[in-house]
Amino acid sequence: MRITLLFIGIFITSLLSAQQTGYYNGVDGKDGDALKSALHEIIKGHTPYSYHSSKYVLKLSDADPDVPGNVLLVYTGRSQDGSDYGTGGNFINREHVWAKSHGNFADWLPMYSDVHNLKPCDASVNVDKSNKDFDNGGTQHAEATGCYTTDSTWEARDEVKGDIARIIFYMSTRYEGDEGEIDLEVVDHNNTYPYAEHGKLSTLLQWNLLDPPDEFERNRNNVIQSFQQNRNPFIDNPHLAQLIWGGETANPISIDNFQIIPEVVVANEPVEVNVEIVSDIGAVSSAQVVWGTSYEALSNEIDMTNVGDIFTGIIPGQGEGETIYYQVLADDASGETESVVYNYYIPKVFTGTLVSIYDIQGQQDDSPYDGQIVSTSGIVTGNFGTSYFIQDGTGLWNGLFIYESGRNPSIGDSVIITGEISEYYGKTEMSNITDYYFITGNNELPEAVEVATGDVEEGHESIVVKVNNAICTDDEYQANFYMWAIDDGSGELKIHNTSIFEYEPTKGLTYDITGPMNYDFDEWKIELRYESDVVGSVDVDGPIILVAEPVISTNIKLMFDEDLDQTAAEDINNYSIDNGIVIESASQHAFNKGRVHLTVSAMSFDDYVVTIYNMKDLAGNITELQTTGFSWVGVDELFGDSEVSIYPNPANNKLNVEFEANESTNVEISILDISGRIIYKQDYDVTIGHNNTKLDVSDISDGVYFLNISQGNSSLRYKVIIN
C-alpha cells in the first residue's frame, strides 16, 4: 500500500554553510597569544577527509563561477577542468600552500589533507614553486607571469597574495602541537625548510592588507566548512592577523557573545539579536545592527537598546528562503568598532507530498518510481562528501542512497529531500536534488539490522546493518580500492575504508562491523563512518609498543599495536627517556588512537631508550613495563662547531665537500635544482675526524643548485653554482 503524507505549514530549515551566529564567541577583546589560543580552540578537531578526496572538495571550493566544472588555478589564474589531475605539464596538482616538507607532515593527517591549505595549481608551476617561503621580489615566472621567484622565495600574483597569507595564518593557528598534531609557526625570515616554520611573516602581513577577502575566497571558506566543519578565521576577519602578529592591541570595545532569538527563524517574524558590549575606557555611547540580504550590502541600520552590557536589536521579519547578513557597530569615547559579519537563514515551508522510502524501494529490484521526481524524508545515517544515506525507521527496504556532492549533512539530521529516483547499475538512488529541508539534528539513528555476511539481499540496500563475529579474510585493502573482506562462515562480504574513516584490519582476527550497506560495482559492501563501526575480537592483552621514531629533535612518535586509553596515553608519568631527556607533554593522536606524540627537551646526537609504564588499552588491559630504543642524529650535532667547506664554488667538473665529524655514521649528500627536484644523490660513510668527498658534477647543467647534507629528520643546505 502506498503511504503518503501531506505537510502544510511545517517550518523546516535548509542547510546553510556560512559564518553563522556566534561561531567566534569568546574571541573579541583578545590579542597576541591569547587571541591565537582562543581561535585554535574554535577551529581545531575538524572532520578530516582523505587526501584523495580533497580533489573533489577543491572542485567545489575553487570552482570557476563562470565555467561549470572548471576550477581556478592559484598562481596562474587559469580556468581548467576540475578533474584534470596529473603529473607535470599543464595538469592540475594539489598545492600545499604551507609546504608539507616544512615540518615533514606528508601523509600525516589531519595536516596533510586539510583542504584549507590546499589549492589547485598548474603542475609545472607547482614544481617551480616547490617548498619556497613567501616573499616579494625575484624573476618573473615564465608561465605564472604574475609571480616572481628567487632561489628560496616565491611571490604570488597580486590577486591571491591575501589568500596565500590567510592560509599560512590559518595553518599556524590550527596546528599547535596538541592531539598528536604538529606545531606550525609562521616566522619573519626565509630559508625555513625543513623546520615546522614558514615565512616571511612581515611580507604575509602586508599581503593580507593589500588583498582583502573577496566573494570567491568567502565562498571557498563556506564550502570547506561544509566538509571539514571548521573555518579559516582570517578570511572572516583579516584584522585578526594584525592583532596576533602585527603588534596591534585589541580595541577597547569588545562585541561578543552573539545570540539570535528564535534560533530557528520563522518567515516574516522579527529576529532579536542580542550581544554583550563592554568598553575598557568607559560607557558604550551607542550601538547599531546593520543588515542586508548580501554580504556586500549591509544597508539597513537599527539602533540597539541595552540592559547593562547586553544590547538588543530587532531585525524585521523577512521572507522564507532568504539569508540575512548582519554586523554590530558600537561607539565609545575612543571611536567606533565593528564585529564580524554573521548570518542566519530563514527556513522554507514544505507543502508537498512525501513518498516513504519503503514505497520508493517497492520491495523489488527496481524502484516503481524509477525516473520520477519525488519528495521523501529520513534520518541521515552516513555522509561521505559526494553522497549520503538516509533511512526512515528500522527494517528492510527503509534506506536510500542520495547522490549529491557538497551537501554534507550531519549524521543524525532529519531531512526532507526532493529529487529524481533512478536505478544506477542496480542500486536505487536519488539524485538531481531540487530541494532540501533540514528538520532537526542529533536524532537517534535507526537500530542496525543484523545480517550474515553471505545473506545480504536487496532489502538491505542502503540501510544500517551489523555483522557479528566475522573473520577478516583479506586485509590488503590498498590493493583493492580500499576494501577488505570478512566472512562469518556464510560467505564473504566487503568492508569499505571510506574517505571519512579508514581502519587497519588484521587477517585472521574477528570483527563486529556496523554501517550503511551499499551496492556498488556489482557487489555489496559496508561503508565505514567512524571508529565505533569496527569492534575487534575479545582482547586480553595489553598494548605493545611497535616503534619509537623521532619526528624532530623535540618530538617523538610512538606507535602501539592497538588503541590506547586516553588518560593513560597522555600521562607523562607513564614515560621516561634516558640521557637526561625531559618529557614535557604526551598527546594521543586525534584519530589514530594507537599513536602518541611526546614533546621532549631537545635531543642531541645519541642513542636513547624510552620506557613505558602501565600503558592501558580500551579494554582495560595493562602492560606494566616495556622499553624500546631509537636514535636521534642531527646534522648540526654531527658537525659540532666545525664548518662545512664546499669548493670550488662555482664548480664545473668536481665539487669537494669537506668537514670535521664528531661521530661515525652515514649521511645522504644530494644536489637539488631550484624546484626541489633531486638530480644527484649519494650515501656517504662519515668517520670521526676529517672527511672529504668529491662529487662528480660534470653531467649537471649550468645553473644555481642546492647541496643538502641530511640524516634522519634534519639537514643542512648550501647554495652552489655549476658552470
Name residue 353's beta-bridge partners: 6
Same-domain check for residues 305 and 376: no
Same-domain check for residues 71 and 152: yes
- Picking from 535, 560, 578, the residue at the C-terminal end of a domain is 535
User: What's the pLDDT score for residue 15?
Assistant: 38
Q: Would you place residue 687 in the very low, low, confident or very high pLDDT band (cuts 50, 70, 90)?
A: confident
pLDDT higher for 395 or 442?
A: 395
User: How many domains does the chain fold into?
Assistant: 6
Percent helix, strand, coil in the chain (nearest 5)?
15, 40, 45
CA distance 287 to 297: 19
Structural domain contains residue 685: yes
Same-domain check for residues 359 and 389: yes
- pLDDT score of 41 more than 90: yes
Q: Would you place residue 712 in the very low, low, confident or very high pLDDT band (cuts 50, 70, 90)?
A: low
Q: Which helix (H) or strand (E) holds 471?
A: strand 464-474
Give tens-digit pLDDT for 64-109. Answer: 999 999 999 999 999 999 989 988 889 999 999 999 999 999 889 8
pLDDT higher for 56 or 231?
A: 231
Same-domain check for residues 115 and 211: yes
Report the amino acid identity of residue 468: N
Work out the average pLDDT over 115-142: 96
Cβ atoms of 668 and 710 within 8 Å: the answer is: yes
Same-domain check for residues 380 and 281: no
| 624 alpha-carbon distance from chain centroid | 36
User: What's the pLDDT score for residue 713?
Assistant: 55
Same-domain check for residues 155 and 238: yes
Task: Indicate the range of 6-10, 263-267, 337-341, 511-515 predicted with least confidence.
Answer: 6-10
Residue 370: name the closest of 348, 355, 391, 386 by CA: 355
Structural domain contains residue 12: no
Cβ atoms of 54 and 47 within 8 Å: the answer is: no
Give tens-digit pLDDT for 432-459. Answer: 999 999 888 889 999 999 999 999 999 9
Structural domain contains residue 476: yes
Same-domain check for residues 616 and 520: no
Residue 525 belongs to a domain with what CATH number? Answer: 2.40.50.140
Residue 173: name the closest of 111, 130, 218 by CA: 111
Residue 643 belongs to a domain with what CATH number? Answer: 2.60.40.3080
Same-domain check for residues 581 and 683: no
User: What's the pLDDT score for residue 152?
Assistant: 93
Structural domain contains residue 421: yes
**For 455-468, b where at least 16 C-beta lie within 10 A, e where not — what string?**
ebebbbbbbbbbbe
Work out the average pLDDT over 213-229: 93
Residue 49: name the closest of 591, 429, 418, 616 by CA: 591
Cβ atoms of 495 and 528 within 8 Å: the answer is: yes
Same-domain check for residues 77 and 202: yes
Structural domain contains residue 16: no
Report the amino acid identity of residue 256: D
| 196 alpha-carbon distance from chain centroid | 17
User: What's the pLDDT score for residue 706?
Assistant: 87
Instruction: Give the largest Cα separation in the chain, rounded.
Output: 90
Work out the average pLDDT over 529-540: 83
Work out the average pLDDT over 169-191: 95
pLDDT higher for 72 or 651?
A: 72
Same-domain check for residues 216 and 359: no
- Picking from 244, 274, 298, the residue at the C-terminal end of a domain is 244
- pLDDT score of 293 more than 60: yes
Residue 170: name the closest of 106, 91, 258, 110 by CA: 110
Percent of the chain residues past pLDDT 70, beyond the cut: 95
- pLDDT score of 711 more than 90: no
Q: Using CB atoms within 10 A of its CB, is residue 664 exposed (0-12), middle (13-18) or buried (19+)? A: exposed
Q: Would you place residue 42 in the very low, low, confident or very high pLDDT band (cuts 50, 70, 90)?
A: very high
CA distance 431 to 452: 30
Same-domain check for residues 172 and 83: yes
- pLDDT score of 641 more than 70: no
Give tens-digit pLDDT for 600-630. Answer: 998 876 789 999 999 999 889 999 999 999 8
User: What's the pLDDT score for residue 1?
Assistant: 28
Same-domain check for residues 83 and 197: yes
Domain that holds residue 485: 449-535
Query: What mean pLDDT is reported for the chain?
Result: 91
Structural domain contains residue 335: yes
Residue 628 belongs to a domain with what CATH number? Answer: 2.60.40.1220
User: What's the pLDDT score for residue 321?
Assistant: 87
Q: With H, G, I as helix, E, B as strand and everything else as coil, classify residue 679.
A: strand
Q: Give me the residue label for grid cell 542502503.
A: 462
What the block records as the C-alpha cell of 280 is: 575598557
For the ranges 358-372, 495-509, 709-723, the one whose mean pLDDT is highest: 358-372
Percent of the chain residues past pLDDT 90, beyond the cut: 70
CA distance 191 to 150: 11
Q: Would you place residue 637 in the very low, low, confident or very high pLDDT band (cuts 50, 70, 90)?
A: low
Q: Would you place residue 6 in the very low, low, confident or very high pLDDT band (cuts 50, 70, 90)?
A: very low
Report the half-sphere exposure of 658 (CA within 13 A, side-chain side).
Answer: 9
User: What's the pLDDT score for residue 662?
Assistant: 77
- Picking from 477, 511, 535, the residue at the C-terminal end of a domain is 535
User: What's the pLDDT score for residue 72?
Assistant: 98
Residue 393 belongs to a domain with what CATH number? Answer: 2.40.50.200
Structural domain contains residue 410: yes
- pLDDT score of 597 more than 50: yes
Work out the average pLDDT over 241-257: 96
Cβ atoms of 359 and 408 within 8 Å: the answer is: no
Q: How far apart are the first and last CA of the chain?
A: 85
Structural domain contains residue 3: no
Q: Would you place residue 685 in the very low, low, confident or very high pLDDT band (cuts 50, 70, 90)?
A: confident
- pLDDT score of 127 more than 60: yes
- pLDDT score of 24 more than 90: yes
